[in-house]
Amino acid sequence: MTTRRDFLKTAGVLTAATAFMKPSDIFAQKNNPKKISTSKKLQLDWENFDGIMKFTFTVSGSSRKGTPIVITRLSWNGYSGYGEAAMPPYLGETQASVNDFLKKVVENVLPKFDNPFCIQDIMLAVDKLSTNNTAAKASVDIALHDLVGNVMGQPWWKIWGFDSSKAPYTSYTIGYDASDEMINTKLDEANWNKIIKVKLGMTEAEDKRMINLIRARDSRPIIIDANQGWKDKYYALDMIHWLKEQGISMIEQPMSKYYLDDIAWITERSPLPIIADESCQRLTDIRTLHGAYHGINIKLMKCTGMREAREMVSLAKALHMKLMIGCMTETSIAISAAAQLSPEMEWADLDGNYLLGNDCFDGMKLVDGKITLEDKPGLGLTPKPGIIKL
């Protein structure tokens, strides 16, 4: 039998829950059969989503037009949080592998926890389910952070104690293109932005053609991502000196991650900072990379999400390594999650949602290219109407 006291308690919880509910959640509840759980059991729902890119995206080694994505939602006690797994093909995860992994999370992890606040233990249990599946793990981690932030009524940059005014400008990526006209179109598309990131690592003639073409019309700062494309350390160092003369300010992953000694040799002599991307997946990689690179590029899809990314920030800073935050082609869910860490970063490359033609969420805003962190709970997300069903 429900007593008056019980009723008031329940009513209080529900009122508090509704007060913190985002318009997006109310929208989702109205339009979707997958309801937000009001029980004190963690409920995980997900939906496959095909990200469509505005341009064909070419980096050293591959070319593609779309990205498979899985959107997740964790709900508990009338609150909810969104997460995302974004899977460029080279990482080896698919929507099917993420779906299988999330089923394991539902069966083996969530029943052991009766509240979302044990982020550390929940994510360690999720991590133990398999060796890889880092994007699938990130989709749980990001939803969990959004959920907890929503329950607390605070954004993560604030919970972590970061100064939002220190958030950097993001770079905007110009991929390789054989057509000068197409590169000009991409530069026009990026005219709002303050920093350009250029993908190199093709032949010397093609790399120099890209830079000369851009420099002929554009004086904005440029950072370079060679995506492991340069094959010889002497050539790479010569190229870096040439790039410095063109006003380039940083180099990401000059050679294959398997040539760490060669990269350490380059780093020792380079006039520009050398940053690890493909070489740096998770927290434990930092120990090996210390001394071989000036810094690391953290990406949530590589490192299983916000919890481990936060730990990577602390370790890299303790080792006096430089920090960059990057992304895959992601919706505003994962971009807004990564943005929470951005005040600690020297460089941010959080343009993944701008490369998508069908972003399904509103989240972190760029103002003249600067990452702008708002005072909204969780990750500050709102689904765009009519795109996803969660």
Residues that bind Mg ion (CB under 5 A): 225, 252, 277
Closer CB to Mg ion, 146 or 252, in the complex: 252
The nearer residue to Mg ion, 225 or 351, going by C-beta atoms, is: 225
Q: How far is the CB of 253 from Mg ion (least distance, A)?
A: 6
CA dist 306 and 297 (Å) reads 14
First vs last C-alpha separation in the chain? 34
Nearest residue to 380 (alpha-carbon basis) of 10, 88, 24, 11? 24
Of the candidates 80, 85, 112, 82, the one whose C-alpha atom is nearest the C-alpha of residue 100 is 85
Query: Angle at which helices 95-104 and 134-152 pack, to 10 degrees?
Result: 60
Q: How would you classify residue 320: left for phi > 0, otherwise alpha for psi between -120 and 50, otherwise beta?
A: left
Which tokens go with 230?
């340069």
Closest contact distance (angstroms) between CB of 278 and Mg ion is: 7
In the complex, residue closest to Mg ion by CB: 277
Nearer to Mg ion among residue 277 and residue 330 (C-beta): 277
Instruction: Please name the residue that has the structure tokens 């990379």.
Output: 289
Closest approach, Cβ 334 to Mg ion, in A, equals: 16
Q: Which is nearer to Mg ion, 78 or 254 (CB)?
A: 254
User: What b-and-e string marks burial along 185-218, b requiring 16 or more CB atoms within 10 Å of the CB?
Assistant: ebbeebeebbbbbbbbbbeeeebbbbbebbeeee
Do 311 and 283 form a contact (C-beta atoms < 8 A)? yes
Label the pairing between strands 274-276 and 295-299.
parallel
Residue 215 CB, nearest approach to Mg ion (Å) = 21
Q: How many alpha carbons lie under 13 Å from residue 76 in its C-beta half-sphere?
A: 24
Cα angle for residues 100, 101, 105 (degrees, 5° grid): 120
Nearer Cβ to Mg ion (36/135): 135
- Distance, CA of 10 to CA of 16 (rounded, Å): 10
Between 251 and 283, name the residue whose CB sits nearer to Mg ion. Answer: 251
Distance in Å, CB of 252 to Mg ion, minimum: 5
Host H or E run for residue 275: strand 274-276
Q: Report, in Å, the least distance between residue 302 CB and Mg ion.
A: 10
Q: How far is the CB of 6 from Mg ion (least distance, A)?
A: 55
Residue nearer to Mg ion on the CB measure, 21 or 324: 324
Distance of CA 210 to the CA centre of its chain: 26
CB of 7 to Mg ion, least distance (A): 56
Please, are residues 155 and 331 in contact by the beta-carbon 8 Å criterion?
no
CB 132 → Mg ion: shortest distance, Å? 19
Of 109 and 251, CB closest to Mg ion = 251
CB of 348 to Mg ion, least distance (A): 13
Distance between CA atoms of residues 336 and 339, nearest Å = 5
* C-alpha radius of gyration, the chain, whole number: 22
The C-alpha atoms of residue 138 and residue 71 are separated, in whole angstroms, by: 11
42 or 210: CB nearest Mg ion: 210
Q: Which is nearer to Mg ion, 146 or 277 (CB)?
A: 277
Task: Report yes or no: 301 and 277 within 8 Å, Cβ to Cβ.
Answer: no
